[in-house]
Amino acid sequence: MAEVFVTGIGLVTALGCDRETTWSRLLKGESGVGPLRLFDTAGYRTHLAAQVDDRCLVLPATAAPVLRHCSRTSRLGLAAATEALTDAGLPAAAEEECPWAVVFGGGSAGLFEAERFLQRRLPRGPRVRALNELIEVPQDAPTDRVAEVFRVSGPRVTVTTACSSSTVAVGLAAEMITAGEVDVALAGGADGLCRLTFAGFNSLRAVDPDPAGAGTDSLRDLVDAFVAFMTGSSPIARIYLQLAGRGLTDPAIANVFPQPLQPKVCARIANASHALERDLQGGFATGNCVPVRRT
């Protein structure tokens, strides 16, 4: 069974356009939350979000015809994937097709552009054109766009499990490598702000009018874009970490079964660590919860 290494990382967040800037500002305790400028927030409970700076979405190395039909979410994914590939010591523009996998988490895809089209279409009727804004509505559009730009010819998988999508995608990509389906994978995800998700979180009261308040997070460009370059063969540039295993559960299962499944998930991760020939020196955990406040 192949070992899985992360050899490149790319980030595009409200804190910065790349991994180093984001990490540096995180260590300083800075926040990316501020006034939402992407669309009008009149009537919402909050007017804040952790919006990515539009300057992060400028992609000079990507062909103009490709960008013409790119959604904001796809641009996030392309920017992060470019950094991850470069970080792994690989050219972002391959001359030949690469038999890698692209496993991306997401959900909103091109909804922001579709909402913008609909906003013009309703008052003006069929005279409104620009149907190209509907091209990337399917949830797998960012995955396809990343594979197209970087000439990845292997499996393409899109994971939509809300806030855990990118993490699940990384675990799934690791399993594809250990199973021998591929030697290399681009894994992570991208999800951009749109009116639908912003309104949904507002309806759940899962937002806070104060960027430093005691409530839950203001809606963000959902991690925005995170891409890890993973390989099961010889590490290309450096090794950030080795993935030993993963566990997955659904908190909603507690509404059906009286006993939580978290201990079983932890046991699965622990069993995976025993498969390593050396002691497990590090760990990685993630989770998310959106409390529903009843009125």
| Chain segment 141-183, per-residue pLDDT in tens | 999 999 999 999 999 999 998 878 888 899 899 999 988 899 8
pLDDT band at 229 (very low <50, low <70, confident <90, very high): low
Distance between CA atoms of 295 and 289, rounded to whole angstroms? 19
- For the full predicted model, state whether its pTM sits above 0.85: no
pLDDT in tens, 85-137: 888 887 666 678 889 999 999 888 988 998 988 887 777 777 766 677 788 88
Residues 6+ apart with CB under 8 A from 287: 164
Three-state secondary-structure class, residue 7:
strand
pLDDT band for position 282 (50/70/90)?
very low
SS (H, E, C) 250-284: CHHHHHCCCCCCHHHHHHHHHHHHHCCCCCCCCCC
| From 70-79, 200-209, 250-259, the region with the lowest mean pLDDT | 250-259
CB-based contact 15:193 (threshold 8 Å): no
- Report DSSP letters for 127-190, one per residue: G---GGGGTT-STTHHHHHHHHHTTB-S-EEEE-BTBTHHHHHHHHHHHHHHTTS-SEEEEEEE
Helix (H) or strand (E) run with residue 229 in it: strand 225-231
